[in-house]
Amino acid sequence: MFPHIDVIIPCYNVEKTLTRAVESVLNQPYLGKIWLVDDASTDGTLALANHFAAQYPERIFVESMNKNGGVAKARNWGALQSTNELIAFLDADDAYEQGALEVAAATFHFQPDTSLVRLALKPIGLAARYAEHPNFDFAWQHMRMTCGGNVVFRRAFFLACGGFPQHALFRELGGEDGALGIATTKIAKVATLFDEAGVLHYCRDGMHAERLLDAVLFQKIDEQVSEEKMAQANAVTDEICRQVNALKCGLNSVKIGIQPLILTRSEA
Give me the number of domains the chain comprises. 1
- The pLDDT tens digits of the residues spanning 48-87 come to 999 999 999 999 999 999 999 999 999 999 999 999 999 9
Which residue range is the domain that position 22 belongs to?
5-162+187-223
Q: Which residue has the higher pLDDT, 196 or 228?
A: 196
Q: Are 59 and 34 in contact (CB under 8 A)?
A: yes
Q: What is the pLDDT of residue 61?
A: 98
| Distance in angstroms (rounded) separating the CA atoms of residues 65 and 62 | 10
Q: Which helix (H) or strand (E) holds 89?
A: strand 86-89
DSSP 93: T
* Single pTM value for the model: 0.94
Residue 61 within a domain: yes
Within-domain flag for 77:
yes
Q: What angle do CA 178, 93, 147 make, to 5 degrees?
A: 15
**122, 117, 79, 132: which is closest to 209 by C-alpha?**
122
Q: In the chain, what percentage of residues exceed pLDDT 90? A: 84
Q: How far apart are CA 247 and CA 160, in angstroms?
A: 8
- pLDDT tens-digit profile of 112-166? 999 999 999 999 999 999 999 999 999 999 999 999 999 999 999 999 999 999 9
Establish if 181 belongs to a structural domain.
no
Read off the pLDDT band of 198 (50, 70, 90): very high
Q: Residue 123 is which amino acid?
A: P
The conformational region for residue 206 under phi > 0 = left, psi -120 to 50 = alpha, else beta, is left
Q: Is the Cα torsion angle 39, 46, 48, 155 positive or negative in sign?
A: positive
What is the predicted pLDDT for the residue at 268?
A: 63
177 within a domain of the structure (yes/no): no
**pLDDT score, position 221:** 77
Residue 167 inside a domain? The answer is no
What percent of the chain lies above the pLDDT cut of 70? 100
* Residue 196 placed within a domain: yes
The answer as to whether 233 is a domain residue is no
Q: Does pLDDT of 223 surpass 80?
A: no
47: confidence class by pLDDT, cuts 50, 70, 90: very high
At 78, which CATH number?
3.90.550.10
State the Cα–Cα distance between residues 52 and 18, nearest whole angstrom.
10
For the chain, the straight-line distance linking the first and the last C-alpha, in angstroms and rounded, comes to: 62
32 confidence band (pLDDT: 50, 70, 90): very high
